[in-house]
Amino acid sequence: MKKYFLKRTSLLLTILGCLSFACTNHNSETGKGKWISLFDGKTLKGWHGFNKTDTIPNWTIEEEAMVCLGAAADAHGGDVVTDEAFENFELKWDWKISPGGNSGVMYHVVETPKYPAPYETGPEYQLIDDIGWPEKLEEWQKTGADYAMHLPNEKKKLKPVGEWNSSKIIFNKGHVEQWLNGERIVEFQAWDADWMKKKADGKWKDYPDYGLAKKGLISLQDHGKKAYFKNIMIKVL
């Protein structure tokens, strides 16, 4: 009986040790694989103006949405960024814009006085009024594009201005997907030969640090018109 008890005790201690090891490993990656809210629907907590430390006068809250008023005083706009930086992630959000509106969501943004605006470092998921924009738009300027780099495919289905759309960006070790209303509309590999050529030949040729950061802030763009964001969630991969 004593030997049996000792064997059972030894087995129990082994199991508990394994469970403890597993729990320790899990806790070492707290938050990984879990959805985290980046916007509480009530305040701008967790966000600040790019390269700024004061209040954010050109953003407000309306009906549980984070709203850009398009009223920034400085020439580079009033973009906001998250307080926290992210590397590999899945980001999803709901959005709508006003007629003639223009905005965007950027990631891997590097915040330093060296860069006057987030777009100098952060790739952008473009948001714009494809139909009502007062000038002719190139395809790389339209909603859903990886701005000035990769075009959306034929699965793009954009809702009319004033209605809510759902978007998603997945960035995982350089593999990038952009989704719109349940469809994957852009897919590419960052930093490969094709990516480097697009950068060198296009709009970003004069921005040497564009898209090179592997970790950075999430940014919402102020481009002079009202834009609305809600249900902003991120999952670390």
Encoded amino acid at 132, one letter: G
Q: In this structure, are 23 and 52 located in the same domain?
A: no
Q: In this structure, are 22 and 109 located in the same domain?
A: no
In this prediction the pTM is 0.86
Q: In this structure, are 39 and 130 located in the same domain?
A: yes
Q: How far is residue 75 from each of residues 27, 116, 209, 220, measured CA to CA in Å?
A: 44, 10, 21, 16
**Each residue's pLDDT tens digit, 45-60:** 999 999 999 889 899 9
Domain that holds residue 16: 1-30
Q: In this structure, are 131 and 227 located in the same domain?
A: yes
| Residue 18 predicted with pLDDT over 80 | no
Burial tier of 18 (Cβ tally within 10 Å: 0-12, 13-18, 19+): exposed
Query: How many distinct structural domains can be found in the chain?
Result: 2
Q: Give the pLDDT of residue 24.
A: 34
Q: In this structure, are 1 and 95 located in the same domain?
A: no
Q: What is the CATH number of the domain that holds 104?
A: 2.60.120.560
